[in-house]
Amino acid sequence: MFIDEYISSVAPVKGKILIVDDQVVNIKILHQLLQNDYDIYMARDGHQAIDMCKKINPDMVLLDIEMPILNGFDVCAHLKNDPATQDIAVIFISGHFDEEKEVKGFNLGAVDFIHKPINPVITKARVKNQLMLKSQSDLLRSIALLDGLTGVANRRKFEQVLPVSWLQGCREQQPLTIILLDIDFFKLFNDTYGHTEGDACLRKVAQKIQDTVNRPYDLVARFGGEEFICILPNTDLTGGTYVAQQIVDSIISLKIAHKTSQVSSFVTISAGVSTIVPTRDIPEKRLIEAADKQLYLAKERGRNRVLGAQVVIKDSVIV
């Protein structure tokens, strides 16, 4: 998928708003005001608010400042310190105008303040404005993590996702597999057909890989020039090798002519697969190094093929 298709595919969805207040009557007023335009969730205290933010990932929190135990400022600071919740727009609801408090709120990362008693027209307008800004910055953030040429995830996205998958593998003690892919004789392809054809080839190959690796929690990213990388959580070496073989088979079946390839008359790809049950004391890059080694061997043994290995750890050392 290319960037312009991606943008037009981002359908406008109903915003999710979490209303947090220790007084039920205040929640009711805001709920009545916003329920027709948004999906509304409610929380009565700070701890509940934080839990719900993690669970439902709202676009916005309307956050009362004065609450017992955990006040609104504490909740906001907590949300902004957690990468999982830091992008939620926070609007504080305060009892009265207080310059010092507002400065503190903005410094904590809030986007706006609404004062009680609630003015329905102003409140609706402020919520709408901030949700629009939020959806624009969400879109920019997601575009910044896409590869501009091929439309798959870029290397930055890969570097964000790998540690998350790694930790998940540590927690669940489940195997994590990566597939490193490299188009065979791609330099010769560019020399033969020119860079425009080279770019078109990269797009077709990327799209095919993306179509083949299709579980929602898998990731396909462009790793460099003509290299792609896949992260397959909860996947053992047999499963990973199977997927890699499907990719290799699907690329040659695209039948992209490559008359200077020494393997085939069509474009082919080689794959290195590595699998590990992650532990916290092993750096993630070991898994990439292992896949790179397998890829090198796949190239050496004739290309257009898959080689894979399980990464075995003994006394915190890879053997």
Q: Which residues are catalytic?
A: 226
Closer to Mg ion at the Cβ: 22 or 249? 22
Nearer to Mg ion, 64 or 184 (CB): 64
β strands within the chain, DSSP E: 16-20, 39-43, 60-64, 89-94, 112-115, 176-183, 219-224, 227-232, 269-276, 306-310, 313-314, 317-318
CB of 104 vs Mg ion, minimal distance in Å: 16
The smaller minimum CB distance to Mg ion, of residues 44 and 155, is found at 44
Binding site for Mg ion (CB under 5 A): 22, 64, 66
| CA-to-CA separations, 207 to 193, 203, 244, in angstroms, rounded | 20, 6, 15
CB of 95 to Mg ion, least distance (A): 8
Q: Strand, coil or helix: what is 65?
A: coil
Q: Is 244 exposed, middle or buried (0-12, 13-18, 19+ CB in 10 A)?
A: buried
CB of 155 to Mg ion, least distance (A): 46
How is residue 109 written in tokens?
């990362």
Nearest approach in angstroms of CB 142 to Mg ion is 35
Of 125, 117, 77, 69, the closest CA to residue 93 belongs to: 117
Complex with Mg ion: residue 27 or 252, whichever CB lies closer: 27
Q: Is 290 helix (H, G, I), strand (E, B) or coil?
A: helix
Closest residue (Cβ) to Mg ion?
66
Q: How is residue 146 annotated by DSSP? A: B
